Amino acid sequence: MGDVQTAESSNRARLAIMELANMISVPMSLNAIVRLNVPDAIWQGGANTPLSVDQILSRVLPSGGGDPENLQRILRMLTSYGVFDEHLNCSGDDSHSPERKYSLTDIGKTLVTDAEGLPYAPYVLQHHQDALMRAWPLVHEAVLNPTSEPFVKANGEGAYSYYGKKPEMNGLMQKAMSGVSVPFMRAILDGYDGLKGVKRLVDVGGSAGDCLRMILQKYPMLRESTLICLRSLPKHLVFRA
C-alpha cells in the first residue's frame, strides 16, 4: 500500500512540475486573446452570447482568414483557468463532434471595455511587453549578484528611464494603471468616509491623477485644501491646487 501511495504522490509531483514549467502558456494565451480583441467580440455591449471559434473569427477578422483550430486551443486552455465558459452544442448526430461555443466568465469580463472605457486588457499587454519579457530570464542573476538589475541588463537602462523614452509604452502603462486603480478606488470611496475634513492630500505615484480626480468628485470641498499628485516618475508634478 505504501509503495502505491508513494508512486501516486510522485506522479502528482511530476504532473505539477510539468504544469509549472509550462505556465508561461497561460499569460501568453491571455495576451493573444487580448490582442485579437476576443473578449469584446464575445461581449458585444453586454450580450455575452456564446460564440463558436468561426463566429469569433468573423468578428475579429471581418475580412476573413485566421485559424479556427489554433484559436480553439487557446480558448479551451483559458477555459480551464476560468476565463471562458465552454458550451457544447450537440446536434444529435454521432458522426460529428459537438460544436463548442464560448462566453465570458466574470474573470473574462474584466477584459472588456467598461462604461468608463477602462478594461484590464492594457494591464495584460503591459506585463507582456518585450522589455519585460527580455528581463524575466535574467532574474536568477539578481541572486548571483545583488547589484544586478535584470531589466537594466536586458534593456540597457532602468525601467523609468526606458519607459520615459517610449511614449507608446508609457501610455500603455498609464492605461493599465488606470484600469486597475479606478475600480478599486471606486470601491474604497463607496465604503470609506475618512477623507472628510482632510487639509492636505498627497497622491504618491498618482500617474494621470485618476484617483485624486475621483476623490474630488466625491468630496468637492477638498478643492479648498492642498492637493498634490506625484507621478510614478518623482520629478513630475502633474496636479496641484
Give the per-residue pLDDT at 131: 93
Question: What is residue 16's three-state secondary structure?
Answer: helix
Domain ranges of the chain: 1-110, 120-232
**Averaged pLDDT, 142-147:** 95
Give SS3 for 227.
strand
The x, y and z cell numbers of residue 212, run together, are 485624486
Contact 172/129 with Cβ under 8 angstroms? Answer: yes
- Domain 1-110: top CATH class: mainly alpha
Residue 218, pLDDT above cutoff 50? yes
Cα–Cα separations (whole angstroms), residue 126 to 121, 131, 147, 175, 221: 9, 10, 25, 9, 36
Dihedral pair phi/psi, residue 206, rounded to 5°: -80, -5
pLDDT tens, position by position, 101-128? 999 999 999 999 876 667 899 999 999 9
The pTM of this model reads 0.80
Percent of the chain with pLDDT strictly greater than 90 = 54
Q: d(Cα 26, Cα 141) in Å, to the nearest integer?
A: 25
One-letter amino acid at 170 equals: N
| Residue 26, pLDDT score | 95
Q: Is the pLDDT of residue 144 over 90?
A: yes
Tens of pLDDT, residue by residue over 17-58, are: 999 999 999 999 999 999 999 999 999 989 999 999 999 999
At 233, the pLDDT band (50, 70, 90 cuts) reads very low
DSSP, res 226? E
C-beta neighbour count of 147 within 10 angstroms: 6
Q: Which fold has domain 120-232?
A: Rossmann fold (3.40.50)
